[in-house]
Amino acid sequence: MKREPLFNIPPVIIAVLAVLALVHAVRTLLLSDDQNIEVLLEFAFIPARYDASVVPGGALPGGFGAEVWTFVTYSLLHADWMHFGVNSVWLLPFGSALARRFGTLRFLAFFAVTAAAGAAMHLATNAGSPYPVIGASASISGMMAAAMRFAFQRGGPLNMMRSGDEQDYRVPAIPLLGVLRDARVLIFLAVWFAINLLFGLGSLPITGSEQPVAWQAHIGGFLAGLLLFSWFDVPESTPPTQPHYDDLDATRH
């Protein structure tokens, strides 16, 4: 019996989930409270790190290196197992769809770029804040936005006319301007932004944690995923309809 691709999780998604789980397990099971705080100070994204009037002389550990790597490393940390679990639930469908379309290396690059975009948006809207930001939600938000560019297309994974095989994830993407003319995508956009503003501004728990939601980071990651999708979406070459045995250039990309 043919297995539905939805349940055939790409190896890179399993690897990402394993890394996220391992990082949280080490922090919660092996490190002392003081050591865990040191990890947060060095690898979480803290806007105050970039404001000399708040943290004079670079008092936070990590120095210049941390000013760079925390734009991504914060996405590997989670507040608790519930936070990790909620993010995993969203990562599985949307991350799997992108991993099948992008491949491992482009997917990992996309994860890092959308994480950095989320951190940049949070920094722009929370300059000087001493509160650390952690979690993969910005990258997952970017995955949701990117998936909209192809998932609703005819033959795509969320279309009624899908075939149920890997080609569903390689249908032509919606042009960026076309996003604004697709009613299904606009509804998705409206609902997504409404939920994030509701849970962010209203301080309602969306991750299972009582900590405030960094909704600006979600929006930064989402916008990056929507706008930068084409940077990572290198189309596969289409094999010729008629086989030409003398065509030496008909190799698959």
Sign of CA dihedral 115, 120, 125, 127: positive
| Single-letter amino acid code for the residue at 65 | G
Compare 217 and 158 and report the one with higher pLDDT. Answer: 217
Give the per-residue pLDDT at 94.
93
Residue whose C-alpha is closest to residue 171's, from 191, 183, 155, 194: 155
**If pLDDT is split at 50, 70 and 90, which confidence band does 143 have?**
very high
For tokens 């507040």, name the residue: 79
CA 234/CA 94 separation, integer angstroms: 18
Task: Give how far the C-alpha of residue 152 lies from the chain's centroid of Cα atoms, to the nearest Å.
Answer: 19
140 or 205: whose pLDDT is higher? 140
pLDDT level of residue 211 (50, 70, 90 thresholds): low
- Please list the residues that pair with 45 across neighbouring strands: 133
What is the percentage of the chain residues whose pLDDT exceeds 70? 76
As given in the structure block, the two tokens for residue 214 are 């960094």
Q: What is the pTM of this model?
A: 0.82
Span 202-216, average pLDDT: 59
Residue 138 vs residue 201, higher pLDDT: 138
CA distance 97 to 90: 11
Residue in 170, 121, 159, 118 with CA at minimum distance from that of residue 141:
118
The rounded distance, in Å, linking the Cα atoms of 159 and 150 is 10
| Helix orientation angle between 104-125 and 11-25, rounded to the nearest 10 degrees | 50
Distance from C-alpha of 250 to C-alpha of 239, rounded to nearest angstrom: 7
